[in-house]
Structure 1
Amino acid sequence: MCGIHAILTPPSSSSSLPDHLPLDLERRLRARGPDHFGQVERRVVVVVTQQEEEEEQQQKEWSLRFTSTVLALRGDHVARQPLTAAADDSRSSGLGSGSGSGSSVLCWNGEAWRVGGRRVEAGENDGELVFEQLLAAASDQGRVEAVLAVVRAVEGPFAFVYFEGLSGRVFFGRDRLGRRSLLMADLGGGGLALCSVAGEAGEGWREVEADGVYVVKVGEGSTERHDWVVGEGAADFVSGIGRFNRALPSGSCALTAGSPSVGMLRQQLLQSLRLRVLNIPLPPDSSAEAKTRVAVLFSGGLDCTVLARLCHDVLDPDQEIDLLNVAFENPRVVAHLQKENGRLPNFYEACPDRITGRRSFAELQNVCPGRAFRFVAINVPYTETQAHRQQVISLIHPHNTEMDLSIAYALYFAARGQELCTEPNDPRPYTSPARVLLSGLGADELFGGYSRHPSAFQQRGYAGLIDELLLDVGRLGKRNLGRDDRAMAHWGKEVRFPFLDESLVRWAIETPAWAKCDFENGEEASGVEAGKRILRLLALELGMEIVAKEKKRAIQFGSRTAKMESGRVKGTTLIS
């Protein structure tokens, strides 16, 4: 995880370019990337032809500044960003200082698991590898297409800004599924600002869409968008990843534990997890071997518990796994519980996700007796929520509804990973040292986990279900992952999504609907409900019968961040 900021300042404003970033913005960028802070500047001379009585050419100088902060999680060293090298030196490693208008710059915030079909090895830094390929592309005659080809061949979550020095173009964008944040704001005179997060003065920022790669020629002002997939059949691709299987079954197709798709899902998840949890380096200032490098955002539900269980199969036996379970003091709910019980109950332990979390934690301990799972009970008093309210609102900008805020609260405090002392004699609170967090997001869209999926099947059978699943998968890149990234990365943590690995998503959308969820046959056919049945059957195979039967619950209701002051507030209400 890293922080990115880039600003393209037109000639009319270059003299007023401040020496430093606004302090609040620099603080937020440093919070995202605590291991390194770097800046470089470039000047680009643009020749402008003025049409008057006689054509007159004038040279206008644009100022460009690139800022990167780094959370070092890839390779055997801290890759000091922004990465720079002379654009005519494709042999450079990307670590030189670089200078002048012909020097290329890369600000990289991502995890490239595969580049050009090749897996990035444990000792390699993915940003440096991508930069080397971009520099090589600069020597190509069709520079724009060559650069686009490099970016299109990257698999993994990322956001980036790349200045190609020879042509004076700036390329920027987010990955196909929008797993990393990147905001943009238009400046006067054709100028442009790009950033991972808005500062306190956040007016004018909007999210860069995850629908392609954007290119702007310095001095021209207009921005071009280039699709992720081009050529014949490009329109058939979903989220720029693969073609959705719209086949209808020829007869009754029961999904059972012996179905091939269940075993394939296990293989796909294990492959995805190996990329995301193995070879995580120690923090640069760590002097001792860390036993906890991975934590799971843990509600105790089906998706996250399956991930925790499979992590046990992947990680070395001595690696501990933190399970981050968050519960909030909701004044409205607390008042109701006190009235109902005649006394003040332990409202944290009464939270739905805390109840589910402890139950699933116990089952994990039973199934994996040799693994040190740590249940991290993150209790958030109402006063603590209010103390951080403005910061969370600023982080999620430009999202600004009550639902955005309630979801962000849960993710923000879960990512902090800190147990709070709630009694005077409590021992020193534990804070998870893990800098990599795992999320189960994506399973509902891929495998039919929402309530509207059985409704679609009841109305139109498999044709209706397929249309609904296709709609959900197609919207993955438009989900609020940028908002979630900004809320969680503030603590110097990186969230990774095993269900959203490109290979897994491609396999899932190419698999027939009846091999993923089974609304045609009742629970008696397999022992678990129809929604996400493929994942529930996998949970049974992994020895987790209780988890296999867990119901879906939205995070804001499970952790009780929703409607803290009034039960009449709607999720779409704008934050006041």
Structure 2
Amino acid sequence: MCGIFCAISEDSHVSCELHSKLNTLLHNRGPDVQHTLAIDNLLLAGNVLWQQGATAQQQPISNDQLVLLFNGDLYNLEAEKEATQSDSTWLMNQLIACHKEEQLLTIFQRIEGPYCLILYNRLQKVLYFCRDALGRNSLIIERQPNSLQLLSTSCHLRQAASMELPPLGLYKLQLDDLQSCVLHPWQDLNKDTSQQLQQLEAAMRWRTKVACAIAPKWLLNAPATTAVSYDLYALVAAAGAEQQQLYDDLLALEQLQQTLQQFAELLQRSVAQRVQHTAPVCSKCTARGSCEHAKICVLFSGGIDCSILALLAHRFVPQHEPIELINVAFERVATAGVAVDSSWQVPDRLTAQQSYEELQRLCPRRQWQLLEVNVTREQLKQQLAGHIHQLIYPLQTVLDESLGCAFWFAANADGRSTARVALLGSGADELFGGYTRHRNAHRRGGNDALQLELQLDWQRIPARNLARDDRVIADCGKTARAPFIEEHVAQFVRSLAPQQRCCYALPEGVGDKLLLRLYGYSLGLRDAVLLKKRAIQFGSRIADKKQQANQISEYLRVVNPES
């Protein structure tokens, strides 16, 4: 993970600068190597968290033609890239070989993984920038009075129009004309993405020309899978009534076995890449050649999503290395006549302890480190007001506040965590129908209504949480990696009909995410597969259910002088 920054001065006589407060935030994201470069009317800065390659690669990378800032991970390049080469070095070499823009677009068509980048062509004075098609990494765009900025995170020091860059495609700017922009979209724009583009144009005060689409192959090609025709509702009706017997009966069916095998292969590959592609030393042993401390952690509520990720990580992390399971609990809000509960036994703590014992039973030789993080209301207030609000910006809702704080305190882990990589279960609910609104949609209009709800959820997942989670977790010197939100995993699951992923004829904790629960059951999980979906803000007790999630947070409001 890296903290990248680019400022374009609109006035050649006014030099851009990187404020010390913002520089600190970028350094938190990339504590291993820092470098800045001023060229033409640009200021570029890179702060690198070493994850891939034999050594940390300084950024920006430049030659006499190109300057590259890259933040992210590239996967599925085993046949093209040596394991000892960093992603940014490999990508720079590919870009240097491009002599036409069509060749440049071809590179973006085939690379996979969570990333964002800024590329400057020194000869043509053209700036390219983008977030990957799933919007997994943060890139904020700001229009300042005399400059345009692109940056991983912002503390909003001056009056500015600021927003998360919509992950619509590859943007192209001529440095001598910041009133217009060219967009090569990942795919043809629809109503929702067209609206995002209009919002960007209004905030940045430019006109956008939509050029030919890049069309990444994984977005367009149907998954290489055998067609499946089962219906969970029909299979459930014919299976045993008891929960364990139900799962046993369903797992004995050939149709489900084929689907689960394909899903298992894709998810295991995704997890393997995300735990094996990291530095050989933990965050506290950078000066050493190797260490036996934990390099991987799982943000751990004990639910089905994170328990599956922990079990799969166990398969690919060296046996002698611990795996951290980080669980966060917040002091209960005091109310009239009710004493503050300081026992920390919030719902997510109880399920985390339960699933931790299950992991110990299934993998007794693994050293599982359950890190229990307890946060008082005073600690929450101080960190939110003094620091975390900057990381959540430019988002401003109560929900963003709750989720952002929960992830920050978990990733920070009171300074006890040594991991460089944090595995998240993000995306599982959107893919497998895990939210109450999915059950309600099915109740209203059956599978057609559910399919529309799932599609809507998937379209808005970048804007709802991914960039925010990236900012708060990266601030703690960790790279957030979400194996469920991998190109081929998502492509395969989304190729299944709703009635092949979930079955709301069964109660909560059984029918929602049924296909995923069956997979967890096949791995040996018994307790976690029967846990109801519980949002982290309620399971950790950071939020009160009486709060309105979409209201503007008072802590976040003060960050934006325009609000």
TM-score (norm 2): 0.84
Contact map agreement 1:248 1:463 (CA 8 A) in 2? no
CA separation of 1:234 and 1:168: change in aligned 2, threshold 3 A:
closer
CA separation of 1:345 and 1:25: change in aligned 2, threshold 3 A:
closer
CA separation of 1:388 and 1:219: change in aligned 2, threshold 3 A:
same
Are 1:363 and 2:397 matched, yes or no? no
Gaps of 5+ in 2: 190-211, 237-249, 555-563
Which residue is equivalent to 1:3? Answer: 3
CA separation of 1:261 and 1:248: change in aligned 2, threshold 3 A:
closer
CA separation of 1:114 and 1:73: change in aligned 2, threshold 3 A:
same
Shifted more, 314-323 versus 406-415: the winner is 314-323
Match of 2:393 among 397, 400, 403: 397
- 1:516-535 to structure 2, matched below 5 A, reads 516-519=501-504, 522=506, 529-535=510-516
Which residue is equivalent to 2:170? Answer: 213
Give, in whole Å, the separation in 2 of the partners of 1:262 and 1:40: 49
Shift of 1:201: 1.2
Give, in whole Å, the separation in 2 of the partners of 1:236 and 1:134: 18
Q: Which secondary structure does the structure 2 equivalent of 1:374 belong to?
A: strand
Identity %: 31
- 1:169-208 to structure 2, matched below 5 A, reads 169-188=126-145, 191-201=147-157, 203-204=159-160, 205-208=162-165
Are 1:127 and 2:88 matched, yes or no? yes
Q: Which secondary structure does the structure 1 equivalent of 2:484 belong to?
A: helix
Q: Quick one: which amino acid aligns to residue 414 of structure 1?
A: A
Give, in whole Å, the separation in 2 of the partners of 1:157 and 1:251: 32
- 1:403-414 to structure 2, matched below 5 A, reads 403-414=399-410
CA separation of 1:235 and 1:573: change in aligned 2, threshold 3 A:
same
Q: Quick one: which amino acid aligns to residue 289 of structure 1?
A: C
Contact map agreement 2:187 2:215 (CA 8 A) in 1? no
Which residue is equivalent to 1:57? Answer: none
TM-score (norm 1): 0.82
Shift of 1:239: 10
Are 1:380 and 2:359 matched, yes or no? no
Shift of 1:249: 6.8
Are 1:561 and 2:542 matched, yes or no? yes
Which residue is equivalent to 2:312? Answer: 310
Which residue is equivalent to 2:103? Answer: 146
Structure number, greater radius of gyration: 1
Q: Quick one: which amino acid aligns to residue 38 of structure 1?
A: H
- 1:171-570 to structure 2, matched below 5 A, reads 171-188=128-145, 191-201=147-157, 203-204=159-160, 205-221=162-178, 222-229=180-187, 240=219, 253-254=234-235, 256-258=250-252, 259=256, 260-281=258-279, 282=281, 283=283, 284-286=286-288, 288-332=290-334, 338=339, 345-349=341-345, 351-390=346-385, 391-418=387-414, 431-519=416-504, 522=506, 529-563=510-544, 568-570=546-548
Which residue is equivalent to 1:37? Answer: 34
Which residue is equivalent to 1:77? Answer: 55
Gaps of 5+ in 1: 44-62, 88-103, 339-343, 419-429
Q: Which secondary structure does the structure 2 equivalent of 1:324 belong to?
A: strand
Shift of 1:120: 4.5
Give, in whole Å, the separation in 1 of the partners of 2:82 and 2:2: 20
Aligned Cα root-mean-square deviation (Å):
2.8
CA separation of 1:250 and 1:379: change in aligned 2, threshold 3 A:
closer
CA separation of 1:403 and 1:359: change in aligned 2, threshold 3 A:
same
CA separation of 1:120 and 1:324: change in aligned 2, threshold 3 A:
farther
CA separation of 1:241 and 1:447: change in aligned 2, threshold 3 A:
farther
Q: Quick one: which amino acid aligns to residue 153 of structure 1?
A: R
CA separation of 1:247 and 1:544: change in aligned 2, threshold 3 A:
closer
Q: Which secondary structure does the structure 1 equivalent of 2:548 belong to?
A: coil
